[in-house]
Chains A and B, each alone.
Chain A
Amino acid sequence: MVPETKDNQNSGPRSKICGASQIYVASRPKPNDAWDAMQIGFLNFYSGVLNVRQDRADLIANNIANADTPGYKAVDVNFDDALSGQVSDPNSTPTAEYRTDVTVGLNGNDVSLDRERIEDAQNGEATEASATFLHQSTADLIAALRPNPGGD
């Protein structure tokens, strides 16, 4: 009787751990499924926020790189739309849109360096803010996971 119950107790948790690790390994190519499996909401959210911020930084850098390219039109993503798309489907890619309220130069280029620099600075500050919140949330989570929070 006693060995049997021990065996059952041991096999129970072990199979659970094995199951969880199998899910994780099987879904490795898609890191977002791993986030879903972890069921930590704020990680999912901040992953979307940082992804969209990174996309915006790439597009703004591209606009500045092409500030002297004839015929180039500045592109950007709408942050709200892109974020809601990322949160609902983490694998989606945000759609880039042309800026509408710009003046087109004689060579067909409508990049305004001043504006792009301001957008980049704002986007950078927002990224740092998100990173700060993510840092604090992670620290809170780790504090909550400790056996004796606040103690030693």
Chain B
Amino acid sequence: MSDIYSIVGSSLAAENMRMAAIASNLANVNSIAAPGTRPYRAVETVFQAAEIGPDDTGPSADDGDATAPDLGVNVAAQVQSNGPPVQKYDPSSPYADADGYVTGSNVNQADEMVNLIDSSSTYSASVAVLQQASKIDQQLISSFQVT
């Protein structure tokens, strides 16, 4: 099944997940961790083109939709960034370690904003495709109204 609405739907769902991860990262940009606990690490969403199954290779005459390749995008994984966490010297904090450093998250605010804009533009392009497809479908339906 690969009609245009399912393709656009997969794109919107994937971008939604990505934007949720970005929102989580930005919300935790100033999170700090007590010594010995793991600090917040930025979540990155990995996209993957939908795989074309083995039964989708050959065209057959009788069923068109079942043999059409699956199109769209999937979220392959949500991985945690391996970047170094921010270390801030603040000996007065109760979360400071023995050397007086407070461990923060490894979120880069500028990177997250760039990702957010990138995701947002892809999302709006998908919405534009959706609007176009629905406009065409409406016109086709009205074309077959016989008076």
Contacts and interface: CB of A to CB of B under 8 A. Distances in A.
B71 A59 contact: yes
Interface stretch (B25-33, B88-96, B103-111, B118-126): B118-126
Interface in B72-130: 72-73, 118-119, 121-122, 125-126, 128-129
Interface string B122-147: 10011011001101100110011010
A2 B124 CA distance: 76
A64 B7 CA distance: 9
Interface of B: 2-4, 7-8, 10-11, 14-15, 18, 46-49, 59, 61-62, 68, 71-73, 118-119, 121-122, 125-126, 128-129, 132-133, 135-136, 139-140, 143-144, 146
A70 B7 contact: no
Interface residues of chain B: helix, strand, loop or mixed (majority): helix
Interface of A: 29-30, 50, 54, 57-62, 64-70, 72, 91-93, 113, 116-117, 120-121, 124, 127-128, 131-132, 134-135, 138, 142
